[in-house]
């Protein structure tokens, strides 16, 4: 008896693969766009000012990391808030309510208007969509393996139907053949 995968299981694996592939490609291209925008962020035309809202130390992290939560105005007139990881050298200079120099840029990510910014002099990396991209990449690889296994099992199942193995006829087949000869 050959292994067979039902059609609805195979189709659901293929549809899941297509959906994850679309999500992965969408996140991948948005992340590439975001990386491109962050490379041009430190230009003089993007310079602005922001107000420090909160300073904190990230708990349970080694080496010790610090965060600065600040807000600035967008071109639409709304206030935008960002939390950024900063080194100790910047952390010790800042106080609540201080005005700081930032580089900001308004962009669209997944069709939504948002902003990216960086405190002047901060060399810490910005949080991008890398974790989300990695999540969809692992899903893509997992479903690619499932699609491969499903195709192999389906091909073996179709081959076993096309070229059936030689089996002994059972007693019912012998009776039917004997009656048709009589």
State the pLDDT at residue 1: 42
Shared domain check, 149 and 99: no
In this prediction, residue 165 has a pLDDT band, given cuts at 50, 70 and 90, of low
When mean pLDDT is compared across 2-6, 20-24, 76-80, the lowest value belongs to 2-6
d(CA 36, CA 109): 13
Q: Please give the pLDDT value at position 3.
A: 46
The pLDDT of residue 158 is 64
97 or 171, which is more confident? 97
Q: What is the pLDDT of residue 34?
A: 87
Q: Smallest Cα–Cα separation from 105: which of 95, 92, 118?
A: 118
64 and 142 together in one domain: no
pLDDT at 2: 42
Domain check: are 85 and 45 in the same one?
Answer: yes
DSSP three-state, residue 174: helix
Range of the domain at 114: 32-127
Query: Angle, to 10 degrees, between the axis of helix 7-39 and the axis of helix 130-162?
Result: 150
Q: What is the mean pLDDT of residues 157-168?
A: 60
Residue 69: per-residue pLDDT: 92
Q: Which pLDDT band, with edges at 50, 70 and 90, does 166 fall under? A: low
Return the percent helix, strand and coil in the chain, to nearest 5: 45, 25, 25
For residue 180, pLDDT beyond 80? no
Q: Is the pTM of this model over 0.75?
A: no
Based on the fold, state whether residues 79 and 152 are members of the same structural domain: no
Which pLDDT band, with edges at 50, 70 and 90, does 99 fall under?
Answer: very high
Q: Which of 127, 145, 170 is the last residue of a domain?
A: 127
**Pair 139, 174 in one domain:** yes
The token duo for 93 is 């200079």
35-86: per-residue pLDDT in tens? Answer: 888 888 888 888 989 999 999 888 877 788 889 999 998 888 888 888 888 8
Residue 170: pLDDT band by 50, 70, 90 thresholds? low
Question: Does some domain include residue 61?
Answer: yes
Choose one of 127, 144, 165: the last residue of a domain: 127
């Amino acid at each position: 008896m050959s292994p067979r995968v039902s059609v609805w299981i195979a189709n659901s694996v293929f549809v899941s693969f297509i959906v994850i592939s679309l999500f992965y490609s969408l996140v991948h291209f948005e992340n590439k766009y975001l990386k491109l925008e962050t490379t041009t962020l430190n230009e003089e035309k993007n310079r602005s000012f922001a107000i420090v809202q909160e300073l904190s130390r990230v708990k349970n992290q080694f080496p010790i990391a610090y965060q600065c939560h600040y807000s600035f105005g967008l071109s639409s007139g709304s206030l935008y808030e960002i939390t950024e990881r900063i080194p100790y050298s910047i952390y010790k200079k800042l106080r609540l309510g201080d005005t700081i120099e930032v580089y900001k840029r308004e962009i669209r990510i997944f069709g939504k208007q948002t902003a990216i910014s960086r405190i002047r002099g901060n060399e810490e990396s910005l949080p991008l969509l890398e974790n989300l991209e990695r999540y969809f990449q692992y899903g893509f690889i997992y479903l690619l393996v499932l699609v491969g296994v499903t195709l192999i099992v389906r091909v073996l199942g179709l081959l076993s139907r096309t070229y059936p193995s030689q089996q002994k006829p059972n007693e019912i087949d012998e009776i039917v053949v004997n009656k048709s000869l009589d």
